A and B are shown apart, each in its own frame.
Chain A
C-alpha cells in the first residue's frame, strides 16, 4: 500500500482561532488529495478535493472561506479551519490516490485523522 501521514492527531483550540492540519504522502506523489469530515458513528463526508497547483473543489454546502485548502506540492496538502467554532469540532481525515503504481491507481489511502475540539 501507500502511506499517508496526517498531523496533528489531536488539537484543542479556543473559539475564534485558526487550525492547520497537514496531510503528506510519504512514499508516492499525490496530484489529488481528499479531505473528509466524520461525526461520531457516521460515515465519511467528503468536504473537498485538493488538486496540486490549482484551486480545490468544494462539495456543496462546504464553505471554502471557512475551510482553506492548499496543495502546494505533490506530497503535501493542508486544511486550515479558520475562526474555528465549537460546531467545527469533528474528526477530519485526509486521503490520497497513488496514481503511479500499477494496482494502486483506483485505491484510496487515508491518513490517521485529526480530532479537532473547539472550546
Chain B
C-alpha cells in the first residue's frame, strides 16, 4: 500500500462547477498537508497549506483535513478553464528531515 493515494483522473468538469479533489494516506504521523498545482512541464506551485486537522479557505479554494479518517480534500469553487492542471497533494511529518510524500496527482480539465 502506498503511503499516499490519489486518483490520477482525468477529471473533466464544466466551467463554474465545484471541483472536489481527494487524497488518502496511511501514516498517522503526517501533520503538514499541502496542495500543489502543476501546469504541464512546470514546477509545482503551492496552493494551500494546512497544519493538522480542520478547514482552510483562500479565495475559491478550500482545503480540508480529517486526520481521524486520514483523508484530505481540496475544493475549487466556480472552476475556470485556467484551473486546468494537475493537482498534487503532499504531506510531511514533524520530523526534522521534513520528508515530503506526494500523491500521484489528479489531472483536472475545466471545459469552457
A6 → B minimal CB distance (Å): 7
**What DSSP secondary structure best describes chain B's contact surface?**
strand
Question: What chain A residues lie within 8 Å of B41 (beta carbons)?
Answer: 91, 113, 115
Specify which of B6, B8, B43, B49 lies most central, judged by the most chain A CB atoms within 10 Å of its CB: B43
**B88 pairs with A46, CB closer than 8 A:** no
Chain A residues with Cβ below 8 Å from B42 are: 112-113
Q: How far is the CB of A51 from chain B (nearest CB, A)?
A: 10
Number of A-B contacts (CB under 8 A): 52
A44, B49: Cβ atoms closer than 8 Å: no
Assess A43 versus B100: contact at CB under 8 Å? Given A107-B46, A107-B49: no
For residue B105, which residues in chain A have a CB less than 8 angstroms away from its CB?
43
Contacting B97 at CB < 8 Å: which of A4, A49, A115? A49
Query: Contact residue range for chain A?
Result: 20 to 34
Query: What is the 8 Å Cβ interface bit string for chain B, positions 22-56, against chain A (1 contact, 0 not)?
Result: 00000000001010100001111110010100000
Q: Cα distance A117–B49 when bound, in Å?
A: 33
The residue from A49, A91, A106, A110 contacting B92, defined by CB atoms under 8 A apart: A106
Q: Which residues of A contact B (CB under 8 A)?
A: 1, 4, 6, 32, 34, 41-44, 46, 49, 91, 93, 95, 97, 106-113, 115
Query: Chain B interface (Cβ within 8 Å of chain A)?
Result: 6, 8, 32, 34, 36, 41-46, 49, 51, 88, 90, 92, 97-100, 102-105, 107
